[in-house]
Amino acid sequence: MKILSPAGNFESLKMAVYNGADEVYLGISKFNARNNIQGFTFDDLDEIVFFTHIHNVKINLTVNILFNDDEILDAVDLVVSAYNKGVDCFIIQDIGLAYLLHKYYPQIEIHASTQMAICNLEGAQYLSQFGFKRIVLAREVLLDEIKRINDNLNVEIEYFCQGALCVCFSGNCYLSSYLFDASGNRGKCKQLCRLPYSLKKDGKLLAQGYLLSAKDFNMSTRLPDLEKVGVDVLKIEGRARRPFYVATATNEYKNALLGKKVNEQNLKLAFNRGYTAGYFDGNGKIISNYNNHIGFKIGEVKKVNYGKRFNEIYFTSNYELSKKSSIKLFDGTKEVSTIALFDLKQLDTDLYMTTSTQRAKVGNIVNLILDYDKEQQVLSFVNKVDLQIEITALQNEKLCARCNILGKEFTTFGEALEPSKNQALTEKDVLTCFQKNNYFNPIVTLNTNNVFAPKSVLNEFRRTFYENLKQFVMQNLSHNLAKQKIELYGKAKIFDDFQIVESKSTHLKNSNIIYSPEHYDEQDILSFSECCKNQNKKMYLDLPNFATKQDVEFLKNLVEKHHLPIVANNYYALTFNTEIVIGGGLNVYNHYSASFYNLPIICSEDSIAPKTDFPYMTLRHCPFKNDLGATCDKCPYQKGYTLALQNGKELKIKSKKLSSCTFYLTD
């Protein structure tokens, strides 16, 4: 398996590469889902391409947002320009962009973003027809389904192994957009899942806490399982996280793949919000007491001397602490305060004292969240590329340097040298000079016959060598794809005059009825279809955006056997042999996407965009198990449950049941 590490800036990029990443992923400009971080620009690509490729590391460029009609052709131009500079592949969500790239530029390698929500073999098969070489699976996909995809499809499988876990199915969250007009897809996520919520039933309070705050993903103990079922690439989440996190996570997973034991403490120091192996762990995905970094326990507060401005806090710890580190204090599971250890005294082997304006009391648990000395040590690590350089310095001939890079021979020349009268040029002189660079660890051999080389001449030759070498590398990595003229899109087929119905008792008004049942029961669905026919209305079965193998088999058999038209909200449904309407779950945002499907689309009247009746969040964990300790055999679910924000805004909890339950937050 390969490791794919995040890079939100140059420092993180270096840490990923130096610590063993096989590939990195990063975004530039406004066309990526982490537009909220100040990362890279298009002009940075030359440096990025050169640096990564001399380390034999591939670049995945994220172009993983949805594009409107005014943006999509600019996105195509960006991809082509980046490819010509030497970017290896592109992570894409918008099917319209994928359609255009596959049609006009089939040479460009595209990967399906996790936001395309591929959760089964059928969805993966559908996308693989249109040029996708790799699929970033939804985190909700379990081992059996990963194996089924690997066994039946010639496509690379990428799977997350570490980092933040979006509680919403495959990151398809619309809550920030709904409440604050801030698109998470555009990198403006308000992290609303990290806020406190109250679970209520008909207004009665049942539970409180960070009820939507997922633990961090940590698959370090499950790597043999992932390799066995066919995962090709392990993806570390975290383009918005610190370089220390990138370095640590990359290094620990690289060591794990080399057969070394993962240092869980190092991972927890980098970032820890509680860990879960995701949906491999059953239902333990929410950590309702905390919503941010908690580090790991190192000690306990033993004494506090309270002062007018500063408190003296005495705590025990066997951990070797350094100044400028940071700790968090906890009272049981409640976070009390965060303290930066600028004033730290070690009073005994396991006793420390610090002064702070922050609160503390005897018995508080002490967690370490930042080890300053360790962080500086990690960030100072540099792993330059070994480069064998053969220098020829002969009397009355031009200086010559040769090396082999990217499997090709490179040669450059300098000034002619004169015979030495006093101090002849030595191999040490050349090595000392050529060590002055940012990228390479030169291993020099010198072929000479007693020549003199002034330092100025040697320094200029070194500069010329490295500058020409960089140009040589970039020329060999670049492409020269000519930009194609793209045809204008056709008119979208709009599906209108419909009514969404969740219950058979609803009065039917429109000619097209979209049936979105809570329970996908065959007899219930067929009975309602017949009811619609009797009223000269046409029923379309609204298919869920998540489906397991068992669900797909049931739905496919039901739909095809009884010739039921459907509304597709995930790519798996597009493999069904029936009449299809494109639903909101497929995120048609531009006319090129509409042209790709060439099917009726549910959209608003003034734009190609999903109607707002699509759920704001899709949850694959059970909030009733998590928050109330409920069990499936005594499921408490019924209408009337809500999740309330502190501002009083309440979100309804709805459920859909197939082989298992999926929950939705709606208005």
What average pLDDT score do residues 558-574 get?
98
8 Å CB contact between 124 and 152: no
- Coil/strand/helix, residue 227: helix
φ, ψ dihedrals at 218, nearest 5°: -150, 105
**534 vs 188, which has greater pLDDT?**
534
Residue 203 has pLDDT above 90, yes or no: yes
Give the pLDDT confidence score for residue 490 in this predicted structure.
82
Using the CB atoms, write b or e for 64-98: b if 16+ within 10 Å: bbbbebebbeebbebbbebbbbbbbbbbbbbbbbb
Q: What is the pLDDT of residues 407-436, one digit of tens each?
A: 999 999 999 999 998 899 999 999 999 999
Residue with tokens 């960070």: 210
What average pLDDT score do residues 241-265 get?
97
What average pLDDT score do residues 624-648 get?
92
| DSSP-derived secondary structure for 10-78 | HHHHHHHHHTT-SEEEE-BTTSSTTTTS--B-GGGHHHHHHHHHHTT-EEEEEE-S---TTTHHHHHHH
Closest CA to 461 of 400, 419, 517: 400
Give the pLDDT confidence score for residue 491 in this predicted structure.
86
- Band the pLDDT of 189: cuts 50, 70, 90: confident
| DSSP-derived secondary structure for 169-187 | GGG---HHHHHHS--GGGT
- What are the start and end residues of each CATH 2.40.30 domain in the chain? 296-379
Q: What is the pLDDT of residues 482-497, one digit of tens each?
A: 999 999 888 889 998 8
Which architecture, in CATH terms, is 296-379?
Beta Barrel (2.40)
Give the pLDDT confidence score for residue 563 in this predicted structure.
97
Closest CA to 513 of 537, 543, 486, 545: 537
Give the integer Cα–Cα distance in Å for 290 and 212: 11
8 Å CB contact between 569 and 542: yes
- Band the pLDDT of 611: cuts 50, 70, 90: low
- Does the pTM of the predicted model rise above 0.75? yes
Give the integer Cα–Cα distance in Å for 192 and 646: 11
Residue 337's CB is within 10 A of a number of other CB atoms, namely 16
- Band the pLDDT of 613: cuts 50, 70, 90: low
Least confident of 35-39, 100-104, 470-474, 552-556: 35-39
Residue 171 has pLDDT above 90, yes or no: no
- What are the start and end residues of each CATH 3.20.20.380 domain in the chain? 2-165+214-281
- 2-165+214-281 belongs to which homologous superfamily? Copper homeostasis (CutC) domain (3.20.20.380)
Give the integer Cα–Cα distance in Å for 569 and 554: 16
- Band the pLDDT of 606: cuts 50, 70, 90: very low
Chain-wide mean pLDDT for the chain? Answer: 94
What average pLDDT score do residues 610-617 get?
68
